[in-house]
Structure 1
């Protein structure tokens, strides 16, 4: 995971809620917001990476932020020491892939 010990993710319903979650996650801990995925029917996930404690704190903050808005978190996870092949999946959803020339 390129010098990162963990990845964390939250899934909820709706862009507004996932933006609130991502904001809370980035403010709560020293994590990098990797990207997001908008799947069928409005379910959206956000992915962060950093050290294990930071990912745990970020995911907890994101879950709290979504629930404070009255929405449901459908799933959340922190994966410590992710298998190197998970990078292939995560790279697909990286925000840098959405920018011109991979900026």
Structure 2
């Protein structure tokens, strides 16, 4: 795992649309989709640093087009190996 990208939104439909856009924009793979509660959904992808960065940026653009609520986004380059234990693979 070279990088992890996270996009958090309020609402499942727009999160799935963002995930679709992210996977089409760059060579990334979904590793998890977490529904936290209160409508919060986090999409997590992995790939090389450049691909994950491009995917997260593309995913964020979905929210400007759809009017969905982007809560947060982040790219973690070269994450610690034990971080993968937090995700259901």
In the alignment, what sits opposite 2:8?
11
**SS state at 1:82 partner:** coil
Structure with the higher fraction of residues in strand conformation: 2
The one of 74, 79, 82 equivalent to 1:77 is 74
Structure 1: which 4+ aligned runs deviate by more than 2 Å?
Answer: none
Residues 1:53 and 2:50 aligned together: yes
Q: How many residues are aligned here?
A: 89
In the superposition, the TM-score normalised over structure 1's length comes to: 0.83
Unaligned runs of 5+ in 1: 95-103
Unaligned runs of 5+ in 2: none
Query: CA-atom RMSD, angstroms?
Result: 0.9
- In the alignment, the residues of structure 2 paired with residue 13 and residue 53 of structure 1 have an alpha-carbon distance, to the nearest angstrom, of 26
Greater C-alpha Rg: 1
